[in-house]
Amino acid sequence: MLQDFIDNLNARFALKDMGELHHFLGIEVRRGKNISRSKGEKMADPSLYRSAIGGLQYLAHTRPDITFDVNKMSQFLQTPSDVHWKAVKRIFRYLKGTIEHGLWIQRSYKMSIIGFADADWASCPDDRRSTVGYCVYLGDTLVAWSSKKQHVVARSKLAGRETNSETTVREIKVEFSLAVCMQLNDRIKKNKR
């Protein structure tokens, strides 16, 4: 089916197979390996792994760029393996190289609320559940984000995205309510002066 689609495109346009994607719009692209429970040798002492994941979960509150990876690695807390530990050390190496990155909260006079959502249908090789995520901006500042595995197996990619979109809209409603309260609070303060 995919090959038929490619052949159809090639009949209309001049296509050239460039092989695997390495760079896109100046950004280096690496394909991650699918990590599952069954890969690798079990760690003799999983307490170090659990402690590292706990610290990373705390750090993810100000580093949304690691939220997905930390979430993925926290799925193996019960029986971590050497493969999982290597992936956690990779997150730490990434953090060391991007120490100046973080969540910057700044005052913005734009009170627009914008949300983005996406879902990766049946991405977990162990239970086929989808990973979903969203982020919400208030003005130019990221104020809410989430990346997690859905509780049930989605019957289709569309069903997974619908559920995630509902969650995103709910979060936007919360952020909108907070924005309205902040505006009212500012007006009350101005009137008291």
Range with top average pLDDT, 37-46, 86-95, 120-129, 183-192: 86-95
The whole-number average pLDDT for the span 119-125 is 64
In this prediction, residue 183 carries a pLDDT of: 63
Q: Using the predicted structure, report yes or no on whether residue 179 has a pLDDT greater than 60.
A: yes
Q: Which of 35-39, 124-128, 132-136, 167-171 has the lowest mean pLDDT?
A: 124-128
Cα(129)–Cα(132) distance, rounded to whole angstroms? Answer: 10
Question: What b/e string do you get for 41-53 counting C-beta neighbours within 10 Å, with b at 16 or more?
Answer: eebeebeebbebb
Question: What b/e string do you get for 93-130 counting C-beta neighbours within 10 Å, with b at 16 or more?
Answer: eeeeeeeeeeeeeeeeeeeebebebebbbbebeeeebb
Query: What angle (nearest 5°) sits at the alpha carbon of residue 147, between those of residues 143 and 153?
Result: 140
Cα(53)–Cα(39) distance, rounded to whole angstroms? Answer: 18
Instruction: Please give the mean pLDDT across all residues of the chain.
Output: 76
The whole-number average pLDDT for the span 7-22 is 76
Q: What is this structure's pTM? A: 0.56
Residue 9 is which amino acid?
A: L
CA 52 to each of CA 59, 145, 146, 170: distance values in angstroms, whole numbers, following the listed order: 11, 22, 20, 32
Q: Classify residue 1 by its DSSP letter.
A: -
